[in-house]
Structure 1
Amino acid sequence: MFENEITRLLSIDYPIIQAPMAGGITTSKLVAAVSNNGALGMIGAGYMSPIQLREQIREIKQLTTNNFGVNIFVPSKFKILENEVKMVNSLLNTYREELNIFEENITLPNMDNALLSYKQQINVVIEEGVPICSFTFGVPTADVMEKFKQHNITTIGTATTVVEAISIEKLGMDAVVVQGSEAGGHRGNFLSRHEESLIGLISLIPQVVDTVKIPVIGAGGIMDGQGLVKALSIGAKAVQMGTAFLTCEESGAHSIHKEAILCSKDGDTILTRAFSGKWARGIKNKYIMEMEQYKDVIPNFPIQNSLTQTIRKASANQNNQDYMSLWAGQNAKLARVETVAQLIQRVMDEGRIVTDNLV
Structure 2
Amino acid sequence: MGILDGVDVPVVAAPMAGGTSTPELVAAVNGAGGLGFLAAGYKSAEAMAEQIQQTRALTSRDFGINVFVPDRDSAVPEARVAAYRERIAPEAERLGVEPGRAEWRDDDYSAKLDALLATPVPVVGFTFGCPEARDIALLRGAGSAVLVTVTTVAEARAAVEAGADVLCVQGAEAGGHQGSFVDDGERTVPTLDLLAQVRAAVDVPLVAAGGITGADGVRAALAGGAVAAQLGTAFLRSHESGAHPTHKKALADDRFTETAVTRAFSGRRARGLVNRFLR
TM-score for both structures, normalised by structure 2: 0.94
Indicate the residue corresponding to 2:247 in structure 1: 257
Is it true that 1:128 corresponds to 2:125 in the alignment?
no
* Contact 1:160–1:198 (8 Å) recurs in 2: no
- Distance in 1 between residues matched to 2:255 and 2:221, nearest whole Å: 23
Q: Distance in 2 between matches of 1:275 and 1:191?
A: 17
Match for residue 175 of structure 2? 184
Instruction: Give the alignment partner of residue 225 of structure 2, picking from 221, 224, 235.
Output: 235
Q: 2:103 aligns with which of 106, 109, 128?
A: 109
Does 2:160 align with 1:169?
A: yes
The structure with more helix, counted as a fraction of residues: 1
Choose from 38, 44, 47 the match for 1:43. Answer: 38
- TM-fit CA distance, 1:129: 2.0
2:79 aligned partner = 83
CA contact (8 A) 1:270 1:283 kept: yes
> Could you give the per-residue CA deviations for residues 206-262 of structure 1, whole angstroms, max 9, x where no partner exists?
111111100111001111111111111111111000000111111011111111112
Backbone CA RMSD of aligned residues? 1.7
Deviation at 1:264, TM superposition (A): 4.6
Cα distance in 1 for partners of 2:92, 2:164 equals: 43
| 2:150 is the counterpart of 1:159 | yes
Q: Which amino acid aligns with 1:235?
A: G
Change over 3 Å in CA distance of 1:209–1:87 after alignment to 2: same
Task: Pick the aligned partner of 1:140 from 127, 131, 138.
Answer: 131
In structure 2, the partner of 1:325 is: none
Q: Which stretches of structure 1, 4 residues or longer, exceed 3 Å deviation after superposition? A: 264-267
> Do structure 1's residue 100 and structure 2's residue 90 form an aligned pair?
no
Are the counterparts in 1 of residues 175 and 232 from structure 2 also a CA contact under 8 Å? yes
C-alpha contact (below 8 Å) 2:3/2:123 kept by paired residues: no
2:250 touches 2:256 (CA, 8 Å); kept in 1? no
Equivalent position amino acid for 1:93 in 2 = A
- Structure 1 residue ranges without an equivalent (≥5): 290-359
2:13–2:235 CA contact under 8 A, matched in 1: yes
Secondary structure (helix, strand or coil) at the match of 1:75 reads coil
Deviations 1:105-145 (A, max 9, x none): x343235xx16x10111122222221110000001112211
Runs of 5+ unmatched residues, structure 2: none
1:142-182: per-residue Cα shift (whole Å, max 9, x none)?
Answer: 22112112202100011111111111111111110100101
Superposed displacement of residue 263, structure 1: 2.3
Between Structure 1 and Structure 2, whose CA radius of gyration is higher?
1
Equivalent residue for 1:118?
109
Shift of 1:192: 7.5
Q: Percent identity?
A: 38
Residues 272 and 185 of structure 1: CA distance in aligned 2, closer, same or farther (over 3 Å): same
State the match for 1:271 in structure 2.
Answer: 261
TM-score, normalized by length of structure 1? 0.74
2-structure distance, mates of 1:192, 1:101: 29
* Number of residue pairs the alignment of both structures matches: 277
Equivalent residue, structure 2, for 1:286: 276
